[in-house]
Amino acid sequence: MKVRLVVFFLVSIQSVLIGQNIEHFRSKQAFEKAEKLQELYMQASGENKDEYKIQFFYELPSNFVDFNMLYGYKDTGDSIIFGLVYYDAVDHFKLLDELYFVLDEQVYFEKLISISLHGIWHADAVNYLKYRLNIKLPNKLLLFLNILSKYSNEEIKSFWYFYFDGPHPAEHLPQELEGIKELDERIYILMKSALKEVQEEWGVHGH
pLDDT digits over 117-140, tens only? 999 999 899 999 999 999 999 999
Please name the helix (run of DSSP H) or strand (run of DSSP E) that holds residue 74, with its range, or none.
Answer: strand 73-75
Higher pLDDT, 206 or 4: 206
pLDDT level of residue 207 (50, 70, 90 thresholds): low
Distances (CA, A) of 72 to 2, 105, 121, 181, 207: 24, 26, 10, 34, 32
Given a cut of 90, whether residue 2 has pLDDT beyond it is: no
Confidence check: pLDDT of 86 > 80: yes
pLDDT tens sequence across 52-70? 999 999 999 999 999 999 9
What is the reported pTM? 0.85
What are the pLDDT digits (tens) for 135-189? 999 999 999 999 999 999 999 999 999 999 999 999 999 999 999 999 999 999 9
